[in-house]
Structure 1
Amino acid sequence: MLLSGFNFRGGTPSDFDSIHNYYEPLVLEELQRVLVDKDVDSEYIADVSCVALNNLPPRYIRHDVDMMFYLSSEERSEINKKISLAVKEAIAYVDTRTRAE
């Protein structure tokens, strides 16, 4: 096990299960919104999600509510713009690569 020698001081490795990238659900929501009328499969959605997430800065958190509490409305708006752009560019990239094959 990777963390076998690590002293958790009362915690367990399962405490890390709550850690996730803040952008993951937001990218999926944006994809759902953008692709609502498109006939795409789960492979396409996974590919676009990976490309979009790789073009966003990682923001690892434990609780979504903590992130939302500390963001101003301007920061939330900026994040939404970044997500929208990343998804748009990821769709274009995947579509181009798919057509090339």
Structure 2
Amino acid sequence: MQLEIRNYYEILLMELISDEGLLDELPEEFLADLCCVTLNQLPVRYIRHLVDAYFFEEYNEIEQMKTEIQVALEKSRAFLKANLHKEMEKNDVV
């Protein structure tokens, strides 16, 4: 038996990344790291169906979740950029 459950924060993060055009802008490996680092900063909110989340969540709660995601995403970008720069310096690429 396979259950169809998803982390709602993952869905909202992917929507934000898509809306910002990052899916086309960033390399796949960097994007995967960005998503992992971002999601690791956020709580988990499992849902079975996306329509259930839209129906049961209040607008203010969804907006708060989106704000949390935006903050975590910006921290993740800064973290990865700093570490990428350090790695490049270490390998004398810079």
Give the TM-score category using the shorter length: 0.7 to 0.9
Residues 81, 100 of structure 1: alpha-carbon distance in 2 compared, 3 angstrom cutoff: same
* Number of residue pairs matched by the alignment: 86
Displacement over 6 Å in runs of 4+:
none
Matched, 1:86 2:75: no
What secondary structure, in the 3-state scheme, does the structure 2 residue paired with 1:56 have? coil
Matched, 1:71 2:57: yes
Residues 65, 39 of structure 1: alpha-carbon distance in 2 compared, 3 angstrom cutoff: closer
CA RMSD of aligned residues (A): 1.6
What is the aligned counterpart of 2:15 among 7, 26, 29? 29
Partner Cα distance (1:35, 1:47) in 2:
17
What is the TM-score with the length of structure 1 in the denominator?
A: 0.76
- Identical counterparts, % of pairs: 34
Which structure 2 residue ranges, 5 or more long, are not aligned? 88-94
Structure with greater helix share of residues: 2
